[in-house]
């Protein structure tokens, strides 16, 4: 049976719940709810395990805060003996319109502290990721407030359908592989 590590990036704490920056956590919460599994506190992360078509998915929400995400990611890769290409990092992306997703095998950190931490810890930018568009509709100098802000009313309404799409993409990634997953979901 093959194992996968699905890493949702976000910050712990009530003040960060349902913010744009925490979309990685939101996607994993949706996936776990859908599968009827729950997260347990563990070493460096809240962890849930689910089975899908003969695959085991370890869902982790690092409890290290965003800028130390690499520590949790690396720990769980090693602990569960999962190859890096069998992992997927879920991250917010300013450069994409709201709700658009892009799946890819590698890329720069784009100034994202969570990705920066992963890159520094693993020593590579070659790890699969799912980028979730949060748009960049903020005034100059207001990026931090925007990213750490809550979804607006319109986004809030559209979110469940986009979370469902992400859930399908994650399951497809584990079943049909990265290339076919990219072909299928990068158009959505």
Active-site amino acid positions: 21
Extract the tokens encoding 122.
């693993």
Which residues make Cβ contacts (< 8 Å) with residue 182, sequence separation at least 6? Answer: 103, 104
Q: Pairing relation of β-strands 40-42 and 3-8? A: unpaired
Rg (CA), the chain: 15
Extract the tokens encoding 187.
């158009």
Half-sphere exposure of 52 (CA within 13 A, CB side): 25
């Amino acid at each position: 049976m093959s194992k996968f590590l699905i890493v949702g990036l976000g910050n712990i704490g009530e003040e960060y719940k349902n913010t744009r920056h925490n979309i990685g956590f939101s996607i994993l919460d949706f996936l776990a709810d859908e599968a009827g599994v729950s997260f347990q506190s563990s070493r460096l992360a809240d962890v849930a395990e689910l089975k899908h078509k003969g695959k085991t998915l370890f869902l982790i929400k690092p409890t290290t805060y965003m800028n130390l995400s690499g520590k949790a990611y690396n720990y769980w890769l090693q602990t569960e003996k999962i190859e890096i290409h069998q992992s997927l990092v879920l991250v917010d992306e300013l450069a994409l319109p709201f709700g658009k997703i892009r799946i890819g095998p590698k890329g720069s950190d784009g100034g994202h502290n969570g990705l920066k931490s992963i890159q520094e810890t693993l020593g590579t930018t070659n790890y699969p990721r799912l980028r979730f568009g949060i748009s960049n509709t903020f005034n100059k100098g207001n990026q931090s407030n925007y990213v750490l802000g809550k979804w607006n009313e319109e986004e809030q309404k559209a979110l469940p359908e986009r979370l469902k799409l992400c859930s399908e993409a994650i399951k497809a990634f584990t079943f049909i592989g990265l290339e076919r997953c990219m072909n299928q979901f990068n158009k959505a």
